[in-house]
Amino acid sequence: MTLILPEDFGATPKTKLVLPEGMTKLLVQVCCAPCCGAVLECFKVHGISPTLFFYNPNIHPRAEYEKRRDELIELAQLLGFAYVVPEYEPQGWFAQVKGLEHEPERGARCSVCFRERLMATALYAKEHGFSHFTTTLATSRWKNKKQVDAAGFAAQEATGVPYWAEDWRKEGLVTRRYQLVKSFNFYNQLYCGCIFSRDNGAYQKNCPEQK
């Protein structure tokens, strides 16, 4: 797998980006290259250099985790962004969603999943002197932004690190997201990430990450 910068990289439709007051150092939780491509392009164009935090113990099995992780690392290197990849320890995540295995997507299991990932992000931000954190978890149309934001604000409340709740789907970023998925030729993901979403036929039929 070798990513090449598309010729039109930099053509973000989000020509204005209002930064949170007092933001000096940004940590961005990222789940995969397809979800964050258009957001990273926007950062690049606006001269923002965040650190990417690939914390996703929900992704299963390990081979799928490694594919997404390696592609994300390659993208970060190509764009010149710093990144952090904590150890892959899925057992703690499985323990947290126990009893929620049959929940539909956007249901209670996803709320726990978002909370777990964004709490870890906020804690890392606090320990390492980041002024703010955000996430690209809600860039897919398949995700519920209110659910993601609730997790982000809960992590802010618990840690004191401000959550930047920018809507990374507005101002043409959804269209741009799917353009970049094609032009980078990112790995074709067939499910959200956890083993329960993999076994959800409705998700696979819709194959939303690539549309």
Q: Dig out the tokens for 117 from the structure.
A: 């990932």
138 touches ligand SF4 by CB under 6 A: no
- Of 32, 40, 42, 110, the one binding ligand SF4 by CB under 6 A: 110
Question: Least CB distance from residue 6 to ligand SF4, whole Å?
Answer: 27
Confirm or reject binding of residue 209 to ligand SF4 (CB under 6 A).
Answer: no
Site for ligand SF4 in 12-71 (CB under 6 A): 58
* CB-nearer residue toward ligand SF4: 53 or 196: 196
Going by their DSSP bridges, the two strands 26-29 and 132-135 should be labelled as parallel
Residue 120 engages ligand SF4 in binding (rule: CB under 6 A) = no
Q: Are 155 and 163 a contacting pair, CB within 8 Å? A: yes
Binding residue (CB under 6 A) for ligand SF4 from 28, 32, 113, 120: 113
Q: Which stretch binds ligand SF4 (CB under 6 A): 1-9, 108-116, 121-129, 165-173?
A: 108-116
Stretch that binds ligand SF4, among 2-10, 45-53, 77-85, 194-202 (CB under 6 A): 194-202
DSSP string, the chain: ------TTTT--S----PPPTT--SEEEE---HHHHHHHHHHHHHTT--PEEE---TT--SHHHHHHHHHHHHHHHHHHT-EEE-----HHHHHHHTTT-TTPPTTSHHHHHHHHHHHHHHHHHHHHTT-SEEEESTT-STTS-HHHHHHHHHHHHHHH-PPB----TTTTTHHHHHHHHHHHHT-----SSSSHHHHT-HHHHHH-GGG-
**Residue of 109, 115, 132, 169 that binds ligand SF4 (CB under 6 A):** 109
Tokens of 31: 């789940």
- If you search the block for the tokens 């990112």, which residue do you land on? 186
State the minimum distance, in angstroms, from the CB of residue 182 to ligand SF4.
Answer: 23
Of 37-45, 81-89, 102-110, 161-169, the segment contacting ligand SF4 by CB under 6 A is 102-110
Minimum distance of ligand SF4 from residue 69's CB (angstroms): 14
Q: Which is nearer to ligand SF4, 135 or 156 (CB)?
A: 135
Judged by the rule CB under 6 A, the positions of this chain that interact with ligand SF4 are 58, 105, 109-110, 113, 192-194, 196-197
